[in-house]
Structure 1
Amino acid sequence: MKKLSQIAASVSIVALLAGCAATDTQGGRTAVGAGAGAAVGAGLGALIGDSSKAAAIGAGIGAVAGGVAGYNWAGIKQDVQQSGATSLGVDVTEMPDGTLRVNIPSHVSFDSGKAQLKAELLPVLDSVARALVQHPELRAKAIGHTDSTGGADLNQRLSLERAHAVTNYLVQRGVNGGYLMAEGRGPNSPIADNSTPEGRAMNRRVELYLYAIQQ
């Protein structure tokens, strides 16, 4: 009985959060935006027994105007990978919230403490720009991250400058600046252990999310 009560409570919480997170547009299609979407994922975790995976639903780009629509990323994903992403260690992943994440590690994007793009990364960004120009229904958001070393203000500024470096380059390649967003999260969203050199290297990154808006 106690277990059934917990499941019932979780269902209620998920339903409530989903109502807050969903955006209804043109005939009722819904999409979960990330801020509330992450909370929905956590609620789903109580049901499916894997909160780490469930919380990834909507946890990437945050809430976006109009919501995120489903999209067939196969062609764009292949083009980005073949532009040099795979050989550079740039991971291109379709996310549970419907976005395409291009995870750019710092060793191929920026020198330590700098926000100037390295030349080797540019063909990858060229392929992203090409996709955004050819598919005007798409938008993109760059999110900069740092490790936990150094001052909080410095890390926050550096993460934002790096995100802007990515979006500014896309604009130079013909992408409508109104279709782009940049955000710096400093060390606040680690994906690895900051107590090890390997972990800190993984945490220093720019995540570029492509997404389709609700029509």
Structure 2
Amino acid sequence: MNKNTLRASALVLVSAAMLAGCQTQQGTNTAVGTGVGAAVGAGLGNLIGGNTTGTLIGAAVGAAAGGATGYNWQSIKNTLGGHTAGTGTQISERPDGQLQVNVPSDVTFDTNQYAIKPNFAAVLTDLANSLNQNPGITARVIGHTDSTGGDRINIPLSQNRANAVIQYLTSRGVDARRLQGVGVGSSQPVASDATAEGRAQNRRVEILLQAPQQQQQAPR
């Protein structure tokens, strides 16, 4: 095979990777990661191999890696942004490709309670709508507390809070099989529990959204 043919094959491979799965919204989102992975992989393959064969190999490897971790979360970010603006809620993409929604305690639950507050209900309604529109996505809900009160109180409280979120989502039509809840108490602080401000940051709910390609790789 001559160089021109190999170059053409490389272009076809990258184009196919970018278009793969575009028959559905899920496929379109995944294709973003696949296409970017293929393009980056092709460049690396050419640098490493110094020839077009290296480009082809790099594109194939990159496409596989990109498809596994890449996902276009923008539509869900836009949906959640309406009711999270000004609440301190953080929505960010993690290095592993999951979308993390971090909701602070003043939005989620009252102290020592697990009844969902109205502002949090609005956020969860938007989340449920997004999940129903994207049936391949799963969610892992993690409840956190500060260290006040000890594990005997905090672990059941954090689990009850995670369960409350799942119950709310299922009440809005989300299949329970797509949801997982866990309470970790105060074991994963993001700030010092020595101050009131730090404790407030540690009392939170995290929701991790996973695309199908990430679900087998995500830590449990």
TM-score interval, smaller chain: 0.5 to 0.7
Q: Cα deviation per residue 1:73-109 (whole Å; 9 max; x = unaligned)? A: 0111111011x10222211111111111111111111
After superposition, residues 92-111 of structure 1 pair within 5 angstroms as: 92-111=91-110
Cα deviations across residues 145-185 of structure 1 (Å, max 9, x unaligned)?
00011021210000010011111100000000000000011
* Inter-partner Cα distance in structure 2 for 1:85 and 1:100: 15
Aligned position for 1:132 = 131
Could you list the runs of 4 or more consecutive aligned residues of structure 1 that deviate by over 4 angstroms after TM superposition? Answer: none
Give the structure with higher Rg (CA). 2
Aligned-partner SS, 2:132: helix
Percentage identity across paired residues of the two chains: 46
Pairing 1:143–2:129 present: no
Larger relative contact order (Cα-Cα within 8 Å, sequence gap ≥ 6)? 1
C-alpha deviations, 1:7-48, integer Å up to 9, x for none?
xxxxxxxxxxxxxxxxxxxxxxxxxxxxxxxxxxxxxxxxxx
Alignment length (residue pairs): 148
CA-based RMSD of the aligned residues comes to 1.5
Q: Does 1:195 align with 2:201?
A: no
Runs of 5+ unmatched residues, structure 1 = 1-67
1:80 and 2:66 matched = no
Structure 1 length-normalised TM: 0.66
CA distance in 2, matches of 1:213, 1:194: 36
1: CA distance, partners of 2:94 / 2:85: 17
2: CA distance between counterparts of 1:146 and 1:160?
A: 10
Secondary structure of 1:80's partner?
helix
- Give the equivalent residue in structure 2 for 1:112: 111
TM-score if structure 2 supplies the norm length?
0.65
1:168 aligns with 2:167: yes
Structure 2: give runs of 5+ residues left out of the alignment.
1-67, 215-220
Amino acid at match of 2:173: G
